[in-house]
């Protein structure tokens, strides 16, 4: 595989020699379902049960002697990590394997239940507002959410547990959250479509506000990596070593997190000096971080630099410079250097 699934030390410096198991996403239920096929239900949604069965099977293949189990996933798999990490830990404890430390790595699965830029009726998954999609889905899939999160909400309100900032405070296992501040999947469900034509001012303000809201929800997340980029998913991409927040790459931050958990288990110390694990960009626009993945024009396929991209988005350099009290050339210089 690539990224965190690679067995090459250059591409995966910290976990290249780990035992890896890849579970394909075939259940379409954000790994929450426990609904078998029946006369009434034509489809089975059994994501939560698939994970339990995989754990059972792996115990007989060497997992029983592991020190650490890292449950990782991207997009729906990232949300699936948040929904299942504690349940996996409990399952292993019940099976008598208390010595295995279970941790989570959630990539691009920290969605917001915010107001859409343009409200649309829920005709399909793309037009459905995030909360409504989950509300309907959870009934359809017979979705399971962790007990500790469920207790925070009234009956029928379990859908709240699919949103990272609501479930995170209830989790017992350590979880590292990786989230683009301007996630393309989030913008799609919020009906902000960045195709062809320049973005209107209302959309531009909405996008900036999304970054602010997301940053706010991550402020109490101990271990996080949130670049100000427009993208979706990262941990299985081979460029995952290139992205940096405040001069630290994601593999380095994960290594620091791993070490801090290891050290804390020994003697309950504070975070390790010079080893940052709470990394969130503070610059306010998509791609104001110069290490962001390359953007391509959706029509021509040509690569764009930050300034071309912002112009393409309808970004008014003159106006923005005036608001910031800067010369336009100074602002462009700051943008291209990522300040």
Q: Which of 183, 190, 258, 281 is catalytic?
A: 183
The span from the CA of 164 to the CA of 142, in Å, is: 20
327 vs 100: which has the higher pLDDT: 100
What backbone phi and psi angles, to 5 degrees, belong to 238? Answer: -70, -15
Are 249 and 243 spatial neighbours (Cβ–Cβ below 8 Å)?
Answer: yes
Mean pLDDT of all residues in 281-301:
83
Mean pLDDT computed over 193-206: 78
CA-to-CA distance for 211 and 59, rounded, in angstroms?
Answer: 41
User: Residue 121 catalytic?
Assistant: no
Of 27, 32, 35, 75, which one is the catalytic site residue? 75
* Catalytic residue list contains 291: no
Q: What is the pLDDT of residues 312-322, one digit of tens each?
A: 777 777 777 78
Among 108-112, 127-131, 297-301, the range of highest mean pLDDT: 108-112
Domain segments of the chain as ranges: 3-289
- Whole-number pLDDT of residue 102: 98
pLDDT band of 310, cuts 50, 70, 90 = confident
Residue 169: pLDDT band with limits 50, 70, 90: very high
- Where residue 197 falls among pLDDT bands split at 50, 70, 90? low
In the residue annotation, 32 being an active-site residue is answered as no
Catalytic residue among 14, 232, 255, 312: 232
> What mean pLDDT is predicted for residues 161-175?
98
β-pairing, 244-245 vs 248-249, is: antiparallel
pLDDT at 338 exceeding the cut of 70:
no
**Interior CA angle at 292 toward 173 and 339, to 5°?**
105
The pLDDT tens digits for 46-71 are 999 999 999 999 999 999 999 999 99
The whole-model pTM stands at 0.91
Name beta bridge partners: 249: 244
Q: Which residues are within 8 A (CB) of 111 and not within 5 positions of it... i.e. 6 or more apart?
A: 79, 130, 162, 163, 164, 183, 185, 186, 189
**Given this model, what pLDDT does residue 128 score?**
85
Mean pLDDT of 64-88: 98
Give the pLDDT mean for 93-118: 96
User: What pLDDT, in 10s, does the model give residues 237-286?
Assistant: 999 999 999 999 999 999 999 999 988 766 555 667 889 999 999 988 88
CA distance 222 to 233: 20
Looking at residues 103-114, what average pLDDT do you find?
97
132 pLDDT exceeds 80?
A: yes
Does pLDDT of 72 surpass 60? yes
Pick the closest to residue 249 from 273, 286, 216, 277 (CA basis). 277
Q: What are the angstrom distances between the C-alpha of 208 and each of 156, 223, 228, 287, 322?
A: 33, 23, 10, 11, 18
Which DSSP string corresponds to 271-285?
PPTT---EEE----S
**What phi, psi does 245 have (nearest 5°)?**
-125, 125
Instruction: Quote the percentage of the chain above a pLDDT of 70.
Output: 93
pLDDT band at 130 (very low <50, low <70, confident <90, very high): confident
Answer yes or no: are the C-beta atoms of 263 and 272 closer than 8 Å.
yes
């Amino acid at each position: 595989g690539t990224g965190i699934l690679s067995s090459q030390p250059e591409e995966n410096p910290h976990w290249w020699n780990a035992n890896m198991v890849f579970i394909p996403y075939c259940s379409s239920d954000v790994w929450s379902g426990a609904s078998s096929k029946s006369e009434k239900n034509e489809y089975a949604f059994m994501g939560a049960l698939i994970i339990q069965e995989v754990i059972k099977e792996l115990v007989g293949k060497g997992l029983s002697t592991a020190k650490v189990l890292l449950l990782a996933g991207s997009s729906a798999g990232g949300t699936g990590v948040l929904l299942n990490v504690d349940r996996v830990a409990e399952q292993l404890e019940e099976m008598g394997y208390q010595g295995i430390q279970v941790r989570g790595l959630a990539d691009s699965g920290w969605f917001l239940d915010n107001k859409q830029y343009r409200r649309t009726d829920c005709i399909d998954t793309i037009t459905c507002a995030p909360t409504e999609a989950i509300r309907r889905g959870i009934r359809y899939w017979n979705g399971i959410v962790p007990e500790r999160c469920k207790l925070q909400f009234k009956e029928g309100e379990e859908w709240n547990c699919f949103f990272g900032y609501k479930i995170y405070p209830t989790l017992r296992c350590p979880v590292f959250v990786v989230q683009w501040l301007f996630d393309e999947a989030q913008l799609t469900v919020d009906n902000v479509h960045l195709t062809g034509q320049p973005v209107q001012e209302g959309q531009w303000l909405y996008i900036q506000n999304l970054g602010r809201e997301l940053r706010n929800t991550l402020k109490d997340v101990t271990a996080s990596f949130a670049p100000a980029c427009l993208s979706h998913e990262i941990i299985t991409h081979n460029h995952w070593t290139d992205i940096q927040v405040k001069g630290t790459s994601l593999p380095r931050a994960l290594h620091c997190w791993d070490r801090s958990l290891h050290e804390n288990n020994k003697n309950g110390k504070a975070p390790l000096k010079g080893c940052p694990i709470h990394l969130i960009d503070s610059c306010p626009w998509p791609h104001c971080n110069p290490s962001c993945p390359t953007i391509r024009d959706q029509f021509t396929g040509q690569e764009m630099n930050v300034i071309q991209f912002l112009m393409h988005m309808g970004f008014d350099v003159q106006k923005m410079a005036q608001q910031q009290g800067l010369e336009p050339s100074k602002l462009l210089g700051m943008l291209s250097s990522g300040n």
